[in-house]
Amino acid sequence: MDINKTIKSLQKKLYTVKLFDTAKEAADYIDSQIDGRVVGFGDSRTMIDMELYKRLSAHNEVHDPYQGKDNDEFLEIAKKTLTTEVFLTSVNAMAETGEMVNIDGTGNRVAGSLFGHEKVYFIVSTNKIEPDLQSAIDRARNVAAPKNSMKYDLPTPCVASGGEKCFDCKSPERICNAMVLYLRKMNDIEDVEIVLINEEMGF
Ligand code: SF4
């Protein structure tokens, strides 16, 4: 994985990029940057591990669908995240050539990452970086999505196989309904910042 090439590629695509050695340093940075704002969260194992909800909700109005008690509350909060001032999420894979890939089942994470905010942060650990777009797509489909399904212990063939690969299933519980390729910064979001963490995190 060539981190310098990745950073240069992301900058050419008009993203702001910051690199941190540890998740703790990245969490401290994000906590210092977002204050007194209305914030929306997309689903991210990395963000959970960084305890960003606890930290940011101490001095911001934070809407995190995963704080909902049931699916109805999840969807109610998820709708609110689509128009917050700031939105934070992660990606399933990133290419050294600067593209990013996200797979989503409900759609709130990818919808929120594309439109409706002044600023969007993508928090990405460097274990998600692949040499090119095709291998990033492969990682998202055959590594991240099966692991994500395993997290929820879903009755899907990827879980039955121990997370070996995606079987492009027809299961009602399938979590892979949309795949978004981020090719360059979206026009109407003022700033899109990629926070890279040089540690193994997430899926
Ligand atoms: S499409 Fe189905 S088999 Fe493939 S990763 Fe998603 S849930 Fe698993």
User: Is the C-beta atom of 157 inside 6 A of ligand 1?
Assistant: yes
Beta carbons of 184 and 9 less than 8 angstroms apart = no
Structural domain contains residue 203: no
Each residue's pLDDT tens digit, 52-98 = 999 999 999 999 999 999 999 999 999 999 999 999 999 999 999 99
Rounded-to-5 percentages of helix, strand, coil across the chain: 40, 20, 40
Q: What is the mean pLDDT of the chain?
A: 96
Number of neighbouring beta carbons within 10 Å of residue 188: 10
Domain count of the fold of the chain: 1
Residue 65 Cα to ligand 1 middle (Å): 22
Structural domain contains residue 19: yes
**pLDDT for residue 203:** 82
Tell me the CATH number at 117.
Answer: 3.40.50.10420
User: Is the C-beta atom of 163 inside 6 A of ligand 1?
Assistant: no
User: Is the C-beta atom of 40 inside 6 A of ligand 1?
Assistant: no
**pLDDT for residue 202:** 83
Structural domain contains residue 54: yes
**pLDDT for residue 78:** 97
**pLDDT for residue 123:** 98
Would you list the DSSP string of 105-174? SSSHHHHHHHSS-SEEEEEEEGGGEESSHHHHHHHIIIIIHHHHHHHTT-SSHHHHTTS--------TT-
Structural domain contains residue 202: no
Each residue's pLDDT tens digit, 107-122 = 999 999 999 999 999 9
Domain that holds residue 183: 3-197
Residue 17 Cα to ligand 1 middle (Å): 31
Report the C-alpha gap between 37 and 112 in whole angstroms. 16
